[in-house]
């Protein structure tokens, strides 16, 4: 039985976990560079809570609020340069998955002044980086606890992840109350992302006993929402359970990794502006069909945890992630060539997955 597991992030969770443990931020230094998007950090109340703590305890800070969805490497480099000029002791990210991923990159750029923006993909691992603290405002990506950062190359427009010991946060504050201000569509997409993480990790060829525990716990917590076709209008939502599920799923993918739905889904986000969670979930039916063929026992465990049949699960996922794409079969063939040399996410997928399989998955979305 394999229980290999590594998790260097100190996690604080629950309502008021920031205010109850703010001394951990004070211990990180007296000068903090804060990374956010345009609105979620303030709307959630998290930024105000941080600034109140900093003002009370005389912590100097500078705010960078330009992180976009699918953060660009050039934006992260710009923030890293500003953090360096500010002489920050550490970097604090407040926001959804894009902001948290970007914060990890900002910490790297801050300590590597001679890098071009694309050098982050070619760096020696681990590279020098500033300490990182994270506060999540959405429940889905699990970036709080993964050693991964997904960035969009500013030159090519292609999403690609970086990973390694230098991509972990030092501290993560996981207070579900900061997710309450998320828009309905964001809430659904991020919940789908967490569900994809849990299912993909469980079905991964790189799974183990520890991964399976976290994956199945995440799936069980998400059952009421994934199988509710009216999730968009669902009013009785246990936000704490969804956030904890996203962290469990983050623990799982940190060991087992994601599968082909994430890799192929990146294209839908890059070129069709489809939210990440939905862009991944749209390929979940294809993944489940492959699981039925190549690892039926694992699929049976998932369906038993959900207490539903495969058709019911596929229908539920489809109802939550319908997407509108506008490319031809010829374009799908061309797109798939980017994966012709293989991808580790493909190799970990049930039965393996090729660029030709990706081509068929893309074509299945054309109506």
Q: Is the pLDDT of residue 7 over 90?
A: yes
Predicted confidence at residue 366, as pLDDT, reads 85
Check if the beta carbon of residue 130 is closer than 8 Å to that of residue 169. Answer: no
Q: What is the pLDDT of residue 339?
A: 96
Mean pLDDT score, 3-13: 97
Q: What percent of the chain lies above the pLDDT cut of 90?
A: 92
- In whole angstroms, how far apart are CA 255 and each of 138, 140, 171? 22, 17, 19
Q: How far apart are CA 67 and CA 75, in angstroms?
A: 7
Q: For residues 227-256, give the mean pLDDT.
A: 86
What pLDDT is recorded for position 267?
95
Which pLDDT band, with edges at 50, 70 and 90, does 235 fall under? low
The predicted-structure confidence for 39-84, as pLDDT tens digits, reads as follows: 999 999 999 999 999 999 999 999 999 999 999 999 999 999 999 9
| 236 has pLDDT over 80 | no
What DSSP assignment string belongs to 50-104?
HHHHHHHHT-EEEEE--PPSS-BHHHHHHHHHHHHHHT-SEEEEEESHHHHHHHH
Residue 321: band (very low, low, confident or very high) from pLDDT cuts 50, 70, 90: confident
149: left (phi over 0), alpha (psi -120 to 50) or beta: beta
Q: What is the pLDDT of residues 73-121, one digit of tens each?
A: 999 999 999 999 999 999 999 999 999 999 999 999 999 999 999 999 9
Higher pLDDT, 232 or 123: 123
* Tokens representing residue 148 in the block: 């991964």
What percentage of residues in the chain have a pLDDT greater than 70?
Answer: 98
What does the pLDDT average to over 223-245? 81
Beta carbons of 73 and 162 less than 8 angstroms apart:
no
- Phi-psi category of 257—alpha, beta or left, where left has phi over 0 and alpha has psi -120 to 50? left
Average pLDDT over all residues of the chain: 95
Burial of 111 (0-12, 13-18, 19+ CB in 10 A): middle
**Which 8-state DSSP code applies to residue 42?**
H
Given this model, what pLDDT does residue 230 score? 64
**pLDDT score at 284:** 97
pLDDT at 160 > cutoff 90: yes
Alpha carbons 100 and 190: distance in angstroms, whole number = 14
Of the pLDDT bands very low, low, confident and very high (cuts 50, 70, 90), residue 233 is: low
Query: Do residues 100 and 136 lie in contact, with contact meaning Cβ atoms separated by under 8 Å?
Result: yes
302/305 Cα distance (integer angstroms): 5
Q: Is the pLDDT of residue 326 over 90?
A: no
- With a CB cutoff of 8 Å and minimum separation 6, the contacts of 319 are 229
Pairing relationship of beta strands 60-64 and 10-13 according to DSSP bridges: unpaired
More confident residue, 68 or 326: 68
Model confidence at 237, in pLDDT bands (50, 70, 90)? confident
Best CA proximity match to 104, nearest among 137, 69, 71, 59: 71
């Amino acid at each position: 039985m394999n229980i290999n597991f590594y998790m260097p992030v100190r996690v604080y969770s629950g309502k008021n976990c920031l205010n109850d443990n703010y001394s951990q931020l004070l211990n990180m230094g007296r000068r903090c560079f804060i990374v956010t998007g345009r609105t979620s950090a303030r709307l959630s109340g998290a930024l105000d809570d941080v600034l109140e703590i900093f003002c009370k305890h005389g912590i100097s800070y500078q705010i960078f609020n330009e992180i976009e969805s699918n953060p660009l490497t050039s934006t992260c480099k710009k923030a890293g340069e500003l953090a360096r000029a500010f002489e920050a002791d550490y970097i604090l990210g407040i926001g959804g998955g894009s902001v948290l991923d970007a914060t990890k990159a900002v910490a790297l750029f801050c300590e590597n002044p001679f890098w071009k923006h694309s050098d982050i993909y070619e760096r020696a691992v681990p590279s020098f980086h500033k300490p990182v603290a994270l506060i999540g405002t959405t429940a889905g990506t699990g970036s709080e606890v993964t050693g991964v950062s997904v960035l969009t190359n500013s030159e090519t427009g292609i999403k690609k992840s970086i990973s390694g010991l230098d991509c972990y946060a030092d501290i993560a504050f996981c207070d579900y109350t900061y997710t309450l201000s998320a828009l309905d569509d964001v809430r659904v997409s991020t919940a789908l992302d967490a569900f994809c993480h849990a299912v993909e990790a469980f079905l991964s060829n790189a799974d183990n006993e520890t991964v399976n525990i976290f994956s199945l716990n995440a799936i069980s917590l998400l059952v009421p929402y994934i199988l509710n076709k009216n999730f968009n209008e669902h009013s009785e939502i246990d936000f704490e359970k969804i956030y904890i599920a996203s962290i469990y799923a983050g623990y799982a993918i940190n060991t087992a990794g994601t599968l082909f739905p994430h890799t192929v889904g990146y294209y839908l986000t890059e070129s069709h502006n489809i939210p990440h969670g939905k862009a991944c979930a749209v390929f979940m039916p294809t993944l489940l069909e492959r699981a039925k063929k190549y690892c039926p026992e694992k699929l049976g465990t998932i369906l038993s945890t959900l207490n539903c049949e495969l058709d019911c699960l596929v229908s539920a996922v489809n109802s939550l992630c319908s997407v509108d794409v506008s490319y031809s079969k010829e374009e799908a063939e061309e797109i798939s060539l980017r994966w012709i040399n293989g991808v580790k996410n493909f190799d970990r997928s049930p039965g393996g997955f090729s660029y030709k399989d990706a081509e068929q998955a893309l074509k299945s979305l054309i109506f």
